Homo-oligomer: A and B are copies of this chain.
Amino acid sequence: MAQTTVRRLSTYLRTLGLEAASGTQSISSARISAVTGFTAAQVRRDLANFGHFGRRGVGYSVDGLQKNLRAILGVDVGWRLALLGVGNLGKALLAYRGFDQMGFKIVAAFDNDHRKVGATLSGLTVEPVSEVARRVSELDIQLAILATPAEAAQEVLDNLLAAGIRAVLNFAPRRLQAPAEVEISNVDLAIEVEYLSYSLTRRRLS
């Protein structure tokens, strides 16, 4: 299924969490639309891609849909993550409580800088990148967060690929080379900020 569809599912799942917390039992595509900003037809189409989760005339069971989306997204698998690069961003990601809440656990941290290796950050001891292959298999890590400087990113990624990692969240501002079967999500601040800059500029002109 298309990337954009799956990304919307995440948004729906979050909405369901909020609705469940406020005690709602049933929810309509119209309600999800109002909260998320996507059209109701879009919501229904997205969900229908994966099954018949709703009941006509009634809506979706908040609890049931939540369970289904969690299964589709695989968020209950208990994925184990490695963090590569413990600069400012890496440290912030380690301290970030959100991953645990989502069901993802950072179980190892690596850096190439020997001054950082050995330090303890948020309960993890920083290890040298050369240890990645061994530790990934030892700790059963399936997913990596790449938070190195741009220059180091490709080389570190190559280590990860050799270690068998097939999904990477990349914060390094650089397009990475990897086989098609490896999934890489890029979080690129330059792109985001430049897009905002563009839209401010357009506004100024028109």
Contacts and interface: CB of A to CB of B under 8 A. Distances in A.
A166 B203 contact: yes
Q: Number of copies of this chain in the oligomer?
A: 2
Contacts of A37: 175
A183 B173 CA distance: 22
18 contacts: A6-B195, A6-B198, A7-B191, A7-B195, A9-B194, A14-B173, A74-B204, A75-B194, A77-B200, A79-B200, A96-B189, A98-B189, A99-B189, A104-B193, A143-B193, A167-B196, A167-B199, A169-B193
Interface string A153-174: 0000000000000111100011
Interface residues of A, number: 56
A58 interface: no
